[in-house]
Amino acid sequence: MIGFILLSIALLVLVMWLIAPALLSQQKQIVDTTKQTNIVIAREKLAELENQLKQNEITQQQYDQSRDEIELALLEDTVTEESTRSELPNQYKRNIFILLTAIPFVAFGLYQYWGEPKAISASVDTASTQASNPHAAQTQTEQDQQKHAGSMEEVLARLETKLQQNPNNPDGWYTLARTYMVQQQYSKAAEAFRQLHTLVGDQAEVLLGMADALTMSRNGDMRGEPFELAKRALEIAPENPTALWLTGLGYRDNGDLTSALSLWKKLLPLVAGSPQSSHEVQTLIDNAERQLASSAAQTPLQASPPEPSPLAPTASATASIKVQVSIDPTLRASVSDTDIVMIYAQRVEGMKMPLAMYDKAQVKDLPMTVTLNDSLSLSPMNKLSGEQQVNIIARITKSTRAIKQAGDIETKIGPVQVTGSEPVTIMITR
């Protein structure tokens, strides 16, 4: 038995000496391979985002934010890999050969002292338990997601520290502002854009970024400073699509539909290459023209109260949908009691931002009944009362973000009438 062990150790030492030079000389190749793998994964994620954008599952802004997040993560991986490219000094290589020789003997001695053959069977039992328990695998996925979120926070913290040490870095402030936007920290993003503006002055992209961040921090309200910033950006870049879009929204929020309509008509041919953007701009144009026509028709009839247009219901009191939500019994065992349940209404066509959303429930509360109305709107510009028909979506998620995440389970029904009196029944299934 001892002879067999000594022979095994000798062979192991020989193999290590044979493969060590190849491993040391191929260090750069391995790093390059890892980098290529990360790039392929990033491309697959971007392709998936583009597909969701084409299917109108996400908005252009959500696509841009998710794309920035992927690019930032890829940049962080690349920087980490580049730091490993340095070649080892010769004295370290010599020490490695010595350690490779000693490893088999040390390993054998430690195994004799601490070894436990039963650990192998314990590992097999653990693997079998995970295979038979999907919830255990799901818990591991949650831990991986939390680790990724933590890494993003670490990148953000390092960037903040660098800017405290060197505040006169325009590229750093721009990256910080975009990162805050990805993290949906809109107030901080606006302040980062403001710092950038003090360094570079009036540039269209900076002004628009600040206007966008301020608007998002105010739940979509363009009045005041965001509108003034957008107009200044439009003066600098009259053909900039984002400037035309945001300035038009600002005019609309301030009641000047004629000016908004003029800008959106100028914008429409500029976004002809994007079907989703074209559709959204055309929807804005159609709504503005309908409201202007309705106002003109009601002007001579001031003596009598105006009647609501059947095409654009405005009475928020009647814009209400009662939703009865339950969960498929076969799905119940695979989700946690504390998973969040989101119930919201969404346009049948056009922008997919929720019009009214209830997100205060958990799986343990199902079945339940909620009422969607304008009091649950996320933005004063996107309300349930502005639509005739909507889709109803019920989602189970571990995230608090409105954007659909990997691993979420959701069911959609519709279209349903906004002012319908009958409750809408929806069962969450796979």
Report DSSP letters for 361-389, one per residue: EEGGG-SEEEEEEGGG-SBTTB-GGG-SE
C-alpha–C-alpha distance, residues 269 and 245, integer Å: 12
Backbone angles phi and psi of 304, in degrees to 5:
-110, 145
Q: What domain range is 57 assigned to? A: 2-111
- Does residue 224 form part of some domain? yes
In a domain, 44, yes or no: yes
Shared domain for 349 and 402, answered yes or no, is yes
272 within some domain? yes
- Beta carbons of 210 and 188 less than 8 angstroms apart: no
Phi, psi of 373, rounded to the nearest 5 degrees:
-155, -175
CA proximity to 409, closest of 385, 382, 384, 430: 430
Digitized pLDDT (tens) for each residue of the chain, 430 residues in all: 555 566 666 666 666 666 666 555 544 444 455 666 767 777 777 788 787 777 777 777 777 777 777 777 766 665 554 444 444 455 555 666 666 666 666 666 666 655 554 544 444 454 454 445 545 444 554 555 554 445 667 777 888 888 888 888 888 888 888 888 887 888 889 999 999 998 888 899 999 999 999 888 877 788 888 999 999 999 999 999 999 989 998 898 888 889 999 999 999 999 888 888 888 889 889 888 888 887 777 655 444 444 444 333 343 446 888 899 999 988 988 899 989 999 998 888 776 778 888 888 899 999 999 998 888 877 666 778 878 889 999 999 887 666 677 788 999 998 888 876 678 899 999 7
**Cα separation, 286 vs 270, whole angstroms:** 17
Tell me whether residue 148 is in a domain. no
- Count up the domains in the chain and report the number: 3
Q: Is residue 186 part of a domain?
A: no
Could you give the CA distance from residue 211 to residue 209 in angstroms, rounded to a whole number?
A: 5
Per-residue pLDDT, 314: 40
pTM of the model: 0.41
Q: What is the pLDDT of residue 266?
A: 92
| Same domain (yes/no): 16, 79 | yes
Closest by CA position to 338, among listed 361, 358, 369: 361
**C-beta of residue 353 within 8 angstroms of C-beta of residue 377:** no
Give domain status of residue 164, yes or no: no
Say what the pLDDT of residue 96 is: 61
Task: State residue 411's pLDDT score.
Answer: 92
- 6 with 105, same domain: the answer is yes
Domain end position, chosen among 77, 111, 145: 111
**277 and 359 co-located in one domain:** no
CA atoms within a 13 Å half-sphere pointing along the CA-CB vector of 236: 16
The Cα 424–Cα 390 span in angstroms is 12
Last residue of a domain, one of 57, 85, 111: 111
Dihedrals φ, ψ of 417, to 5°?
-75, 135
Helix axes of 170-182 and 134-165: crossing angle, nearest 10 degrees: 150
Residue 231 maps to which CATH number? 1.25.40.10
The span from the CA of 308 to the CA of 417, in Å, is: 16
The answer to whether residue 374 is domain-embedded is yes
Q: Which of 252, 278, 294 is at the close of a domain?
A: 294
**Residue 40 forms part of a structural domain:** yes
Q: Are residues 19 and 58 in the same domain?
A: yes
Number of helical H runs and strand E runs in the chain:
14, 7
